[in-house]
Amino acid sequence: MGEAALFKFELSQVATALIKAQGLKEGIWYVGFEFGFGAANAGPSLTEIKPSMIMSINNLTLVRLKEGEPVPSFAVDAAKIV
């Protein structure tokens, strides 16, 4: 059997790993992303160029929910992590 070439993680699993890495013991946290956007003329060939949008993922963030905010299904309570 060959080595794995892909690992897939739920957002809550990523949040849990980051909470552990930061040593957080309280608060409800979720993973967010910071996106960048740009524009260019692009296409599959020189004759099919069209105005286009380019999106990049700049950062992955760990965000703490404020008191009273709705809790997303992928949020993790740091106090419940063993």
Structure tokens at 39: 């524009």
What pTM value is reported for the model? 0.79
Q: Is residue 30 part of a domain?
A: yes
> What mean pLDDT is predicted for residues 14-43?
97
16-to-9, 24, 34, 61, 78 alpha-carbon distances in Å? 11, 10, 19, 13, 8
> What mean pLDDT is predicted for residues 28-45?
97
Residue 34 has pLDDT above 90, yes or no: yes
Identify the pLDDT of residue 69. Answer: 95
Q: Is residue 3 part of a domain?
A: no
Number of domains in the chain: 1
Q: Which domain holds residue 25?
A: 11-80
Residue 2 has pLDDT above 90, yes or no: no
Q: Is residue 21 part of a domain?
A: yes
Mean pLDDT computed over every residue of the chain: 96
* Four-residue CA torsion sign, 23, 26, 29, 34: negative
